[in-house]
Each structure stands twice: as C-alpha cells, then as structure tokens.
Structure 1
Amino acid sequence: MGFFTYTMAGSGFILIGAWEALTSSNSLRSSPLTSIHAPPQASSSRTKKNPSSSCLTFISISVFSLLLILNSIVSFVDALNSSDKVGSALQLQVLAIGPLFLLCSVTGLLANFTNSIPLPHSMLSLIGLFAFVEEFLLFYLQRKNTSGIENRYFDLLLVPITVCLFSTMMELKSPKSNYPKLARGVGLILQGTWFVQMGLSFYTHLITSGCSLHEKSRGNYTIRCKGHADYHRARAIATLQFNCHLALLVVLIMGAYSVIVKKYGVPRDFTQYRPLGAEMQQFENTQFTLDSDDDVGEEIKEEDNVGKQKVGVVESGMNGYGTH
C-alpha cells in the first residue's frame, strides 16, 4: 500500500474523529460555534433528529470511502498482474468495507439534509455498526504469515476499532446522548494515529534492526525478522509505540478540554453541583438552643395534659352535656 497511502488514511481518520468529537461535546453545543454545524436550509425538526451530525461530516466520510475503494481497486489490479491470489482476496475484503461507509454517509446526507429518504437515525447507526464489524474482522482474520510483525500492529489496531464498535452500539441504545459520539471520535483519532505509525514503521525502517519488509504485491506484504530475539524485540517496540500513542491522545484530550472549559465555561452536566461550603453556611445561619432534660420532660407533661383536656371536651359534647 505504501507510506503515502497509510499517511492519507490516518489523516482522514484523525480529521473525521476530531470533528466528531468536537461536534458532540456539550460545551460546544451550547456555544455560538454550533451555528456553523447546522446548514441554513435544514429545518428545526431535522436538526433535532440528528443534532450532532453535520453536512461536512457526511461529505468527508463519502470522500474518504471513495478514496478507499479506489485504492483497493488499484491494489486488486496490481495483485492480478503479479499473480498474487492472496493479495487479490485481501482487496476483495477491503472492497466490502468501503461501500458500507459510503452507504452510511450518502444515506445520512439524504435523510438529514433533504426530504428524499425519511429514515430514522438508528438506521444510520446500524449501517455504521456493520461497517465497523467488517473492519474488525478484516484485521482480526488477516494472518498471511503467522511470524510477521505486522500482525502485532493489526492486533493493536483492534483496540480503537473496538471502541468505535461499542460506541456505535451504545448510540443505537441512546441516540440522543452525545457520549457515544464523543467516544467514537476518540476511537477514530487513535485509529488514525496508529495508521500513520504503521506507515512509518513499515516503510521508513523505523521498526527495529534485523527486520525487513517483503512485498509480493501492492496490498500483500509481510515483515520478517532474522532471529527469535529480533522478533520479540519488534513486538515489544510495537506495544511501546501504541502506549505512547495512547498517552499522547490522553494529554491532547485533557489539554483541549481545559481550553474549551476556560473559553466556554463548565458543561451543563456539572452546573448542578453544589460545593460543601454552601451546605455549611446554611448550618451556620441556623440558631441552636440548648435545653436541659428537665425542661424537655416538663414540656412533654404539659402537652399530655392539654391533650387530655381536649379529649374530655369532645366526649362531653358528644354525650349532649356540652355548653350551648
């Protein structure tokens, strides 16, 4: 596939995931920036139907899906010219993923911004769920060479794909919640950064010494190591790289959240919190009196005597001997 293909794919995932995370955050939804998310020709009913999705999101997914399909077709033709049956079979699996994402984006455009297809938002989430399941199976079952180092990178790629898959499932259960969309955006960002890392590791000799790339066709390649020690060192380096990507993503998310909170304020979910000082001030303003046990006993006796007098008056009135 090449370094350029991996870089472009990773950049596309990063941009789409970042936009998905921004449009689904509660702080930005309550800020003036939300006016650029909704098209002016969209009605209020369609905006309430899918408030966190935008026309730019669906257009970006459509373009990205078309580029994925085009790259798979080119790799399929190259595998046929190289008489690589395994490479051609792999590209057929990739061709099954691209149309699903393209169908999801095109259906989203027609359903949310036109009156052509009146579909519920759950249908879009269901199509996206099928696409992520297909992507998960592609990298989970891709074992051309069991001793290839690329398998370790594919196994680690399953982590962000799983995050996107489960967040889409949660979106089916709670379509009005923004947290599944936010989690899916973070998963797409991590998936994009890992694609860029795979391109750097596979095609720029940044993986480890003693391992080299062997390419049969444009889409069929493997990374072999000379010895057993080189193989384990390469797997350990891949795990360390993924942990660094995950830590970098956490730092970026915390930094972006701090900037957004400083500029737009605290989200609405945390405005109902009341500090402990407010509760203590209420107790400070309350006046307490200290009474002895004897005073309390005398008050109870006086209340009992008053109650007995009232009962006696009621009984005398009922017997007909009351005062007139």
Structure 2
Amino acid sequence: MGSFRGHVLPGTLFLLVGVWHMWSSIVRYVSYPKSFQVRVWNPVTSFDGRLKYLELYLITVGGFIDLCVEFLYSTHLHIIVHGVLNPSHMNNFEHSGMLLMFFIFGVITLLSEKTSFLPLPEGALSLIASTAFTAEYLLFYFHSTTHKGLEGYYHLILVLLIGLCILSIIAGALVPTSFPVDLCSGIAITLQGLWFYQTAFTLYGPMMPDGCLLKGNEITCHSAEQEIHGELLANVQLFGLVLGVLVAVAGAYIYAEPKYGRLNVNNSQIPEDG
C-alpha cells in the first residue's frame, strides 16, 4: 500500500526531468536538425554554464533523498527484525532498491561527464538509464504489496508507462540520431510523473471515484460496477494526460522553431559571409 506523499515525491522528480527532456530535445532539433543526437540527459546552457549538470544533480540528490525517506524514515529505522528484513516494510525496501538504481545512474553519469575516471559513450549511458527503469518495472510488476481492484488497475497503467520509458531509451541507444525517439523518451518520463500525481490524487486524495474509499490499507469499492466505473475513469484520466502532453509538445515546438531555428540559419550563413 502506498501513500499520497510516496507517489508525489517520485512523481515530481520524473515530471521535472521529463519536461526538461522534452523541451531540450525540441530546442536541440530545431537549432541543429542535421546534426541532432539523442541524449540521455540534457545540460543547462544558460547562466554561463554554472547549472550545466543541474539535471544530473536533481536525479542524484533527489533520488538519494527519496531513498532515505523510504529506507530510513518510512521504516522508522526498524530495518532488521529477528535477524531478517522487517516484513512489514518490504514495499519500502523495494522502493529503495528502485531509487538506488536511479541514484547509481546519476553518479555514474556525473563521473563520466565531469571526470576522466569513467568515460562512457552516450549509448552506454542510455543503457544504464534503461536498466534503472527496468528495475522500476520489475519492482511494480512483482510488488510484494498485492495490488488488487482499482489500485491494481492504476499500477498496471504505471507499469505500461514505465515499459514505454524502457523501450524509448533503448531505441535511443540503437538509433542515436532520431528526434522522434528522443522526444518519445521525454514524453514517456513526463507521463510517468503525471501518472504518479494522478494516482496520488485519486487513490489517496480528493479524486476518489464515487462508491470507492480508502479503508485501512486497501482501496475498496461497494460494488463491481463502481470498481469498473473507477477503471473507466482511469482510462479517461490517462487519455487527458496524453492529450495534454501532446498539445504541450506541439505548443513548445511552435514556440521554439522560430526562436531557436534561426540559430541554424545564422550558423549556416557564417561560412558564406566569411
């Protein structure tokens, strides 16, 4: 069983990274379409490069803080009980393992980009990122907490979105010049973050479907019809989020093309002017 905070915190991290990835992908493509390259992370080029690695620090520090919340705070430091992992907090330990993978990805990428100790090509970093998402996928698919009914349906959609993240990132490593693949990766991460939020507000907040309620550690509905209605509502919510993200992507492209597309035109004229 999860909680409102337990979904909002990781959702915020995925949402910030996903939105930044989409915007950066669009700007890089409209600026230099012929030399476009897929990136697993995107530097912040403003502020004289002082915030260049902000995304990686967000992943590393944010993942570490969330890891501490799951492993230390949520368990109240009751980690070992009678010589074994505390069985009442297995879901927290599983979440910690997922967050540890993203923390490792952030550390490895920082070492690769900022030092000479671990130089890795972009394709290798993409595969490491896909490994972190694969760990997340397996966590939610084989969760020790039995997701049934309406809660199970929301987590099934989450698993599908995580699978889309894995496929798009691997595709980026295999087709390193594809703008649609790179943009799809950002869209998938954004949708995952939004769905964490949607799950939090629906199952643990004010958007609970009529006839269903949070009782103890379970989501129960008064009848099968009301549970089906809740699942249909989840489909509508997912459609709304997908539509909203696609509209936002189209708007961002329309805004970025005339503003940043001129960079490509100006750069192509430099040799002729010279």
TM-score (norm 1): 0.67
Q: Is 2:242 the counterpart of 1:246?
A: yes
Conserved 8 A contact 1:27-1:266: no
Q: Which amino acid aligns with 2:103?
A: L
1:37 counterpart letter in structure 2:
T
Q: Is the 8 Å Cα contact of residues 7 and 195 (structure 1) preserved in structure 2?
A: yes
Structure 2 portions without partners, runs of 5+: 34-41, 265-274
1:189 deviates by 0.8
Provide the rounded CA distance (Å) in 1 between the counterparts of 2:207 and 2:49.
49
- Matched pairs, number: 250
Q: Which amino acid aligns with 1:10?
A: G
Does the C-alpha gap of structure 1 residues 66 and 227 become closer, same or farther in structure 2, counting only changes over 3 Å? same
Does the alignment pair 1:263 with 2:259? yes
Residue pair 1:20, 1:57 contacting (<8 A) in 2 also: no
CA distance in 2, matches of 1:143, 1:76: 16
1:232 paired to 2:231: no
Q: Distance in 1 between matches of 2:232 and 2:110?
A: 43
SS of residue matched to 1:149:
helix
Greater Rg over alpha carbons, structure: 1
One-letter amino acid of the structure 2 residue matched with residue 130 of structure 1? T
Q: Name the SS for the 2:54 alignment partner.
A: helix
Q: Which residue is 2:65 aligned to?
A: 67
State the shift of 1:59 in Å.
0.8
> In the aligned structure 2, how far is the partner of 1:28 from the partner of 1:265?
5
- What letter corresponds to residue 101 of structure 2 in structure 1? L
Aligned partners of 1:179, 1:64: CA distance in 2, in Å? 28
C-alpha distance in structure 2 between counterparts of 1:85 and 1:260, whole Å: 51
**TM-score of the two chains, using structure 2 as the length reference:** 0.78
Unaligned runs of 5+ in 1: 43-53, 216-220, 269-324
The CA deviation at 1:40 is 7.0
1:226-270 deviation digits (Å, cap 9, x = unpaired): 2111111111111111111111111111111111123233897xx
Alignment root-mean-square deviation, CA = 3.2
SS of equivalent to 1:265:
helix
Over 3 Å counting, the alpha-carbon distance change for 1:101 and 1:35 in structure 2 is closer
- Is the 2:43–2:53 contact (alpha carbons within 8 Å) kept by the matching residues of 1? no
- Counterpart residue number, 1:76: 75
Q: Contact 2:17/2:189 (CA < 8 Å) preserved in 1?
A: yes
What is the one-letter code of the residue matched to 1:92? F
Q: Name the counterpart of 1:150.
A: 151
Q: State the AA in 2 paired with 1:242.
A: L
* Displacement of 1:140: 2.1
What is the aligned partner in structure 1 of residue 38 from structure 2? none
Alignment partners' CA distance in 1, 2:49 and 2:209 = 54
Superposed counterparts of 1:1-324, under 5 Å: 1-25=2-26, 26-27=28-29, 29-30=31-32, 36-37=44-45, 54-73=52-71, 74-77=73-76, 87-142=88-143, 144-145=145-146, 147-215=148-216, 221-265=217-261
Within 1, Cα distance between the matches of 2:108 and 2:188? 23
- Secondary structure of the structure 2 residue equivalent to 1:142: coil
8 Å Cα contact 2:31/2:262 also seen in 1? no
How has the CA–CA distance of structure 1 residues 39 and 260 changed in structure 2, closer, same or farther, with 3 Å as cutoff? closer
User: For the residues of structure 2 that align with 1:253 and 1:8, how far apart are their CA atoms?
Assistant: 24
The separation in 2 between residues aligned to 1:210 and 1:35, in whole angstroms, is: 47
Matched to 1:59, the amino acid is Y
Instruction: Give, as a single letter, the amino acid of the residue that structure 2 aligns with 1:169.
Output: I
Deviation at 1:159, TM superposition (A): 2.9
Structure 2 CA distance, aligned partners of 1:267 and 1:232? 52
